[in-house]
């Protein structure tokens, strides 16, 4: 795991609001997760050549997600295998090893991404990398978005599709 993905878990603060925009494919075009007071994106984690963009604010906290993988490439799972994880951690995620210089993009073009959903499109699970996830933990960064951490490293997201 790359040191840039290392995250500190800080005490709860006001969680961001998830605003979900889907296009006709559907693709997730923009998910806003940040605090309106500090909503400026100053750095970005670029995974898979722009397939997943994670925007970070001044505090190196997740402020936005953009998933640019068309629905046809998502793997459908039966409902019995596609269950929303229970968050076991509380707090907020801060990427302490990210370069604080504004408007920096850190690229991870070789990192595999896997996108899972169900027939009802009730949500998606994004897996970053190919790690054994048996001991991973989930943290809610909004009511409808969870972050998956493995030994404090970011390895995935869960996003509920809210009607």
Nearest Cα neighbor of 113 from 68, 144, 159 is 68
Overall average pLDDT of the 1-9 stretch: 71
Answer whether 92's CB lies under 8 Å from 10's CB.
yes
Residue 39 corresponds to which tokens in the numbers above? Answer: 């909503």
Distance CA(95)–CA(120), nearest Å, equals 33
Overall average pLDDT of the 59-70 stretch: 84
Residue 28 corresponds to which tokens in the numbers above? Answer: 């997730």
Distance CA(102)–CA(48), nearest Å, equals 21
Overall average pLDDT of the 115-139 stretch: 89
* pLDDT-based confidence at residue 81 (cuts at 50, 70, 90): very high
Count structural domains, the chain.
1
Domain that holds residue 118: 3-160
3-state secondary structure of 38: helix
Residue 163 has pLDDT above 80, yes or no: no
């Amino acid at each position: 795991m790359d040191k840039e993905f290392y995250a500190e878990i800080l005490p709860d603060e006001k969680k961001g609001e998830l605003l979900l925009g889907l296009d006709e494919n559907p693709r997730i075009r923009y998910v806003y997760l940040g605090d309106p007071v500090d909503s400026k994106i100053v750095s970005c984690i670029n995974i898979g050549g722009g397939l997943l963009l994670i925007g970070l604010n001044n505090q190196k906290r997740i402020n936005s997600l953009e998933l640019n993988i068309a629905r046809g490439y998502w793997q459908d799972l039966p409902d019995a295998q596609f269950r929303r994880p229970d968050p076991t951690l509380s707090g907020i995620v801060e990427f302490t090893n990210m370069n604080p210089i504004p408007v920096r993009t850190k690229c991870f073009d070789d990192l595999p991404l896997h996108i899972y959903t169900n027939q009802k499109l009730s949500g998606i699970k994004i897996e970053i990398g190919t790690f054994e996830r048996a001991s991973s933990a989930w943290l809610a960064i909004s009511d409808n978005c969870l972050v998956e951490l493995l030994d404090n490293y970011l390895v995935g997201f869960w996003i509920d599709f809210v009607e």
